[in-house]
Chains A and B, each alone.
Chain A
Amino acid sequence: MTKVLVVDDEPNIVLSLEFLMQQAGFEVMTAEDGETALTRVAETRPDLVLLDISLPGIGGFDVLERLRADPDLARLPVIMLTAHGREVEREKGLALGADDYVTKPFSTRELVERVKALLGEAGQEGAS
């Protein structure tokens, strides 16, 4: 079963994302800060990460950088979530290797579509 890791420090947002991913048929793990997120990735090897940028402790960008630095995890699909609407952050995220970038508040349907699309691509790659 496809595994999705949700990382956000806002419990209600985690709750909603968890529900949405479960409804989409994924197995969901959660983390409320960067350090926990890295641990979860190492432990559970998720197929996709929904990663908030502003996290206590290690921030979202740092987490992304560390993931990309690990050759095993370099191709792990990551969707960045941010409450900042600033363009620079979006560019920074994409430059650091994020696969997608979603601004809060988001459309739940669109988010699910994007997750599925990324996992579909990854799946195809994996299949070929």
Chain B
Amino acid sequence: MSWRSEATVLAVAFGYLALLFLIAAWGDRRAERGRSIIGSPTIYALSIAVYCTAWTFYGSVGRAAETGPSFLLIYLGPTLAMLLAPFVTRKMVRIARAQRLTSIADFISARYGKSTGLGALVALIALVGITPYIALQLKAITLSHAVLVDYPEATGGTLENAPFWADKSFWVALVLAVFIILFGTRHLDASERHEGMVAAIAFESLVKLTAFLAVGAFTVFVLYRGPGELFARVAETPALLEVLGLAAVPGGALGWVGTLALAFLAFLGLPRQFQVMVVENVDERHITRAAWLFPLYLLAINLFVMPIALAGLLGDAGGNPDGFVLTLPLGTGAEGLPLLVFIGGLSAATGMMIVETIALSTMVSNQLVMPLLLRARLLPRGGQGALAGWVLGVRRLAILAILLLGYGYHALVGDAYSLVTIGLVSFAAAAQFTPALLIGLYWRGANRMGAGLGLTAGFVLWAWTLLIPGFAQSGWLDAGFLTQGPFGIEWLRPYALFGLEGWDIYTHALLWSLVANVGLLVGVSLFTRQSSLEQTQAALFTEALHPRLDQASLGHAGHTPRGELRALLDRYLGAATTARVFAEEPDQDDRHPASPALVARGERALAGALGSASARVLIDSVVRGEALDLPALLSILDTTSETLEMNRRLEQKSRELERAGEALREANERLRELDRLKDEFVAMVSHELRTPLTSIRAFAEILRDHRDLPDDKREHFLEVVVRESQRLSRLIEEILDLARLESGRLTLHPERLDLAELARRGVEAMQRPLEERGITLEVAFEADAAPVIGDPDRLEQVVINLLDNAGKFADATAPRVRLTLARHKRGFRLAVEDNGAGIAEDERERVFEKFHQIQHQDDGAPRARPRGSGLGLPISRGIVAHLGGRLWVEDAPTLGGACLVMELPEAPDDDAAPPTPPTAPASPAAE
């Protein structure tokens, strides 16, 4: 039995398809039991490898054989796109999940205000643009089958014109239709994941990679003994060296850029890539793994492309380079390997067809057929769930139709282009979606009108520069317009539009279609307005990654009776789904209005089944009133960002508050301390005032009540009253002075004066009172003249104060006080010392505190000398400080007691100069 016999090949091929069925069924059953097998980033990356179709499998070698390493550009584009996937794809996944979007047509339609027209346009472009691509897969299957079975007679030449029932590709298409209907339309909700299908696709990705690596290894290590020998052989054939070079790329450097851009844009715009990357995504985090795993897959599957192409060109395998992967092993008489390669190619082709057909059929049913039926009111007015069957029916019919359309294209046109050519034409069509997709994702201003016109223009130019020339080259049209232009208009020639010549046709087509597409999208958007729904959707899309946006309840502000909503969902989704939608608010009366959140859930459920545009139309039919508009949405967005901003600012504020609180506590503490000091001061003052007042009152009352007092007593008592009154006045004066000093409002009248003369006056004034108290006063002037700047009255007060004070502290039995005046550096020192006990070191500063009274021993004898108020020294220090001098306590040099020293700076020499005011600030006594 030959591995290559018709029967064996057919049996293996259909056996392989049966295996796919099993895998898909297993995947679906696991999903239903809640044990998903596709919840893995590796499976996700493998499913993205659906990008590698039969075109990769057979066509890469073909392209490498013709134009060298340029085939790599087709894989560099997606690699670049995957670098952006963690940002772009994640955003699309987030949006598609939130809005239950089912396809790229639905996505673009939803972005631009759930526009039915735009959705239909995208579906139409996809249908026209991608059908050739499906045809390409069928062509690959047919050709590879022919090569495998008929080698060496058939080596990938032309297709036989066989009737369709004898064409294996027709039957492959039918089998696939059954597969897709079974695994692609199990659920009405197209936004639900097709887990079985994804599992099968991931498996197919493994199969095609294995097969390609196998034939690659065979070529390099079996046909040649390693890459060394292969490349040595190539080096001997100068003609082949050109293939290795970069110059072979059509269109030169521009062609490179063009092909790279084309692959990049197409990867993002291809319906099947959107299906596996966005709709079928299970977990956003998988994107991160796929971002490097998928490019790695691309690297692996391209590893042997060049060696196989070179080996094919070197060897005598001959025939179409697209078939080298088969003819090389066949040429050695191998049979098992070619069959594996065939299965690999089959897996690449079927994988693409399955996903692409599911994506296209969803678009066709949701964006083209259902909106038309809804608008034409052709849907039956059936009861519960009646329309659910309709929707599924439409989708199944669409699957069949798409595959038959692909077969038709394959049978009629497919012969004209090589695999690569068909692929690139489809790529250019898919690339038209990317501007509306990407710009809409990041620019809120992009609108429906711009997207619609851009897409239309891009599509028209694509058709004119790539699709129609294809028909012409197939002989379906007169090819004359290719060279002369339509009606002889040269600048409209499809391959040299507007006189642009010398470019490769794809770069040329891509340039013109994208210029028109992007130009109109941006230009028209700038000059036209968005509807409110469009504004809402634009904001939702561009802000999709905004934190907590998905939780924002975006519903209708209008009024919808629950009953009507329930009836609507019942008709389209069936009882079970409707019950799920209503499950969160089950208890309410159906006559009540539905909550906005419920209406939003209902719309999302409908969108999953029918697409967002149709869902919006249906919901609008039961909602009375305005939908949530942009201002409402923006306020939600703003509230969210405001909340975040507010939180951030609150944190900052609370830190500031903490610091302020700390400062306040400290300030409060200081205030408390000041308050306490003030209370103490007031208490002291009141105490000091009460003391003389007590004597005055007591003696006044005595004098009043005892009119018969002897004269001497009466005289004595009156004298006490007078003296205590004076004391009271002095005290009040001192308190006021102190208050003025402390508040800085003490008015001094500084003038140039002789401190020596002033001291003499003070001594004269105190001589008698001190002598009366039995105190000996000594005076020693070491400077004859001591010019200083000062207020004479205040300074005299200070000198008297010092003398009086010293008198109090002088020795009780033989009290002595000594005043000295001497020059010291650039000033003068006036010192007053006594022969008392002295003042302890730690007491020396405290004597300048208010009301500080030094406790001194008392022999018990009645004191003849008056006690001080305790304010004299603080006031003196304040005055001296005001005049730029100092006042302090030190040991008495001569008498051994305490010594108070006042130092004042010498006045400026110039007698004629006007008195210079002191520069010292008017501050309280230094403490």
Contact = CB atoms under 8 A, between A and B. Distances in A.
A19 B691 CA distance: 18
Interface in B685-707: 686-687, 690-691, 693-699, 701-702, 705-706
B699 to A, nearest CB: 6
B826 interface: no
B333 interface: no
Nearest to B721: A12
B691 A56 contact: no
A73 B858 CA distance: 26
Interface in A1-34: 10-17, 19-20, 23, 30-33
Contacts of A30: 862
Given A12-B724, A33-B860, A36-B860, A104 B691 contact: yes
A14 B858 contact: no
A108 interface: yes
A105 B687 contact: no
A35 to B, nearest CB: 8
B2 to A, nearest CB: 121
A57 B858 contact: yes
A128 interface: no
Interface residues of A, number: 29
B694 A10 contact: yes
Contacts of A54: 687
A105 B724 CA distance: 13
Interface stretch (A60-68, A78-86, A90-98, A116-124): A78-86
Contacts of A20: 698, 702
A83 B695 contact: no
Contacts of B858: 32-33, 56-57
B705 A109 contact: yes
Interface string A21-55: 00100000011110010000000000000000010
B698 A105 contact: yes
A77 B686 CA distance: 28
A17 B863 contact: no
A83 B686 CA distance: 8
B860 A84 contact: no
Contacts of A107: 697, 701
A56 B694 CA distance: 19
A14 B693 CA distance: 14
Nearest to B701: A108
B735 to A, nearest CB: 15
Contacts of B683: 84, 86
Contacts of B724: 12
B439 interface: no
Given A12-B695, A13-B695, A32 B863 contact: yes
A106 B690 CA distance: 10
B705 A83 contact: no
Contacts of A56: 855, 858
Contacts of A23: 706
Nearest to A39: B860
Contacts of B699: 12, 16
A30 B862 CA distance: 10
Nearest to B688: A83
A39 to B, nearest CB: 9
A15 B720 contact: yes
B686 A84 contact: yes
Contacts of B862: 11, 14, 30, 32
Given A10-B691, A86-B683, A106-B694, A57 B701 contact: no
B702 A108 contact: yes
A109 B705 CA distance: 9
B868 to A, nearest CB: 13
Contacts of B687: 54, 83-84
A15 to B, nearest CB: 7
B690 A104 contact: yes
Contacts of B697: 105-108
A104 B694 CA distance: 6
Contacts of B706: 23
Contact of A108 (B686, B690, B698): B698
A68 to B, nearest CB: 24
Contacts of A106: 694, 697-698
A81 B138 CA distance: 122
B701 A83 contact: no
B691 A83 contact: yes
A57 B694 contact: no
Contacts of B720: 12, 15-16
B698 A13 contact: yes
A106 B186 CA distance: 109
Nearest to B684: A84
Most buried by A among B694, B699, B706, B864: B694
A107 B700 CA distance: 10
A11 B691 CA distance: 11
Nearest to B709: A19
Contacts of A17: 698
A13 B690 CA distance: 11
A13 B720 CA distance: 10
A36 B693 CA distance: 25
B469 to A, nearest CB: 111
A31 B861 CA distance: 9
A57 B705 contact: no
B686 A85 contact: yes
B690 A16 contact: no
Contact of A83 (B694, B698, B702): B694
Contacts of A15: 695, 720
A13 B858 CA distance: 18
A37 B699 CA distance: 24
A105 B705 contact: no
Contact of B701 (A13, A33, A86, A109): A109
A16, A23, A33 pick with most chain B CB within 10 angstroms: A16
12 contacts: A10-B867, A12-B699, A13-B698, A15-B695, A20-B702, A32-B858, A32-B862, A54-B687, A56-B855, A86-B683, A104-B691, A105-B690
Given A12-B720, A13-B695, 19 more contacts: A10-B691, A11-B864, A13-B691, A13-B698, A14-B862, A15-B720, A16-B702, A17-B698, A20-B702, A30-B862, A32-B862, A32-B863, A36-B860, A56-B858, A85-B686, A104-B693, A104-B694, A107-B697, A108-B705
